[in-house]
Structure 1
């Protein structure tokens, strides 16, 4: 089977393709649009197994994409790609330990009042534009600015830089085939230059932010210059991309499932958290985990053997739609995550990964969503989609997934 992540039809609804792959067994070897091949893992059980198996290295495999000649863009990409998602233990253990305290529960929970104030301000601006009768983009007006404002404060990034950073990170997270020639290379070069200057500024004038802490951290087991740049890129990219896609996807589902929206409004103390969890499962904001490479021949069962050296892509979005794990997986049902009377927990999803590379920012993403979504739909009871849901464009690629634009309007309720 051939896979083209730049195909708009695939981006809009990749789940039938993944279901076909899942039916083939623990993993399936597919041809990518660039002519290379990779193993896709799509079933929940096998996704968790591979993510926890040290025989699948996170160091990027050489055959996961087209070989590229040396260039400023390629050197910038290689430098920024040295982050902890692309490492194994013991390097990964050291890098994760240096950042975990930044997203520890007390520090994240302390952001609650600030997140609420930022969300209130954005919703008020959005309401003002909609009150004039114009159409607004819920991604540009809500889903993007909230997490970029939050992560900018956490990391000490000036607010004036957020639009450029969004554009550059959008490009590097998309297939080159889906963008104008040279757009991805330009983004890598600009990101590298920006983060280099930002870190230099933190050296001159440190603040209370995470970047300053990393720059001025202890030299023992600390970050070298290349690791510092890569960590800056990872925290920026992961710090808002996941939450942006979560907010946009959850909003789209609620706008197309009025019964679920009504239930959340009527039972806010339990239903909003359930909406967030179901949105994470149903519309996984991270479509796939980072590329892995088999360090030895691995037998996954059912006659499937991944040869040593082959690239492997673990598809989180597919695992979260696995019927062996989730009843009626293609239905948006927040009630599956409501507290059960008998105390049993709902089936856990893998939207934030599993194993050693489980997302350190998962608590922050959940907090932003559970605070901001009730504020949005509470302030705008007449919010409606301005286009047919089938016309909503999606991000291309296999890494992140969410609506690119979400046109909305209001009507009297």
Structure 2
């Protein structure tokens, strides 16, 4: 049976630009074979992909699916300084199980309480308004701009930078390095991923030393202090620094970019959001999270024993398993018209009632700590963007936009827009 399934679909290549742009037909075909299936990957390995909603929730809450990577997981890599850096930075809490995960998560939870996150609203409003003003100037001057480089990227970087205490001047380098380590090596020049791991390790080592010398009122400083009191060892501290920065901006950047693209290509929904106010903008955010999940998949898991997912799906022990959040949140059994962008389904009184909770932030013990902050940034920033730049239009074919390769995070790499005047040139 497995052999028949694997012949239906060609080996999955996450570095394929066409797949990165639109992976959903592939996932729909895969789901038609069952909620979890063994898939051949382009690198010659195999893995189980979970695409069904109910099964995804079950796997994410099941301790038999370990987050701890097996020794020498993935392709064999030669011993090097870059590989040692990679292994060090990969010791973050997403790659851990209880009780280690419980301890690591507890140390960061205080930074993302509702009170602390809500207190960031005025700062987010100020930063977003400033970026919109800069975009307006650029559009008036040049006639075009990129919403990823000018808005979706800098806003979450500025916000998480303040939370963590990362200097603003370092953000471009960090964006490049984290982009590389989150991408398939096949999509980049040879050695680019290894260089990025080494540079990230060196950067965070120096940043932590700076926090030891001159601590501030930020999360990194708190973690460094906790480490000196027995909270984290040096390796855990480096890994936590990497994870919080990467997760703190990468997913929100993709959320902002994907929401902007969806509204630009669905003018009726944009008009409805403008009329509907805060409640409708919140619905836009939720529908973007469901429809264009910024996290395409979770981190890899492995089975510690044979697991029967029901319906004849049995995953053997020591199998590599990926829960595809983007696919699970488009499961037609739980989301009617799953491929349609319909924010109204998240509004009170929606026909058929509100849908099942999407899985964009995961589920279970590893549910994203920064979910509230990401939602707040998007709910504040999107109305400011479209109120401050009324009439902007997409300046590219949406079906030809380049997307981030890989199975971890997903979003457009560029989002060119033009000024309103460019839409209707005078005769």
**What band does the TM-score fall into relative to the shorter chain?**
over 0.9
The verdict on how the C-alpha distance between 1:348 and 1:42 changes in structure 2, with shifts beyond 3 A counting, is same
User: Does 2:182 correspond to 1:173?
Assistant: yes
Structure 1 gaps of 5+ residues are none
Deviation digits for residues 88-108 of structure 1 (CA, Å, limit 9, x no counterpart): 000000000000111111000
User: Does 2:91 correspond to 1:82?
Assistant: yes
Residue matched to 2:371: 362
Residue matched to 1:403: 412
- In 2: Cα distance, 1:290 partner to 1:300 partner: 19
Aligned with 2:29 (options 20, 25, 36): 20
Deviation digits for residues 179-238 of structure 1 (CA, Å, limit 9, x no counterpart): 111111100000000000000000000000000001002656500000000000000000
CA contact (8 A) 1:384 1:409 kept: yes
Residue matched to 1:205: 214
Aligned with 2:261 (options 241, 252, 267): 252
CA contact (8 A) 1:298 1:305 kept: yes
Deviation at 1:303, TM superposition (A): 1.9
CA contact (8 A) 2:344 2:350 kept: no
Residue matched to 2:5: none
User: Does 2:116 correspond to 1:99?
Assistant: no
- In 2: Cα distance, 1:311 partner to 1:71 partner: 25
Deviation at 1:12, TM superposition (A): 0.5
CA contact (8 A) 2:227 2:234 kept: no
Residue matched to 2:6: none
SS of match in other structure, 2:321: strand
SS of match in other structure, 1:305: strand
Deviation digits for residues 299-329 of structure 1 (CA, Å, limit 9, x no counterpart): 1122221111110000000001100010000
Residue matched to 1:139: 148
Deviation at 1:269, TM superposition (A): 2.4
Aligned with 1:34 (options 35, 43, 63): 43
CA-based RMSD: 1.4
Residue matched to 1:347: 356
Further displaced range: 127-136 or 112-121: 127-136
CA contact (8 A) 2:14 2:20 kept: yes
Aligned pairs for 1:176-255 within 5 A: 176-217=185-226, 222-255=231-264
SS of match in other structure, 2:226: coil
Q: Normalising by structure 2, what TM-score?
A: 0.95
CA contact (8 A) 1:276 1:370 kept: yes
Number of aligned residue pairs: 413
Deviation at 1:410, TM superposition (A): 1.4
- In 2: Cα distance, 1:117 partner to 1:162 partner: 19
Residue matched to 1:160: 169
The verdict on how the C-alpha distance between 1:316 and 1:221 changes in structure 2, with shifts beyond 3 A counting, is farther
Residue matched to 1:334: 343
Q: Normalising by structure 1, what TM-score?
A: 0.98
CA contact (8 A) 2:13 2:41 kept: yes
Residue matched to 2:126: 117
Deviation at 1:33, TM superposition (A): 1.2
- In 2: Cα distance, 1:303 partner to 1:130 partner: 56
Deviation at 1:343, TM superposition (A): 11
- In 2: Cα distance, 1:59 partner to 1:220 partner: 26
User: Does 2:10 correspond to 1:10?
Assistant: no
Aligned with 2:321 (options 301, 305, 312): 312
- In 1: Cα distance, 2:353 partner to 2:110 partner: 31
- In 2: Cα distance, 1:343 partner to 1:209 partner: 44
Deviation at 1:26, TM superposition (A): 2.9
- In 2: Cα distance, 1:57 partner to 1:378 partner: 45
CA contact (8 A) 1:280 1:351 kept: yes
Deviation at 1:134, TM superposition (A): 2.8
Structure 2 gaps of 5+ residues are 1-8
Aligned pairs for 1:358-397 within 5 A: 358-397=367-406
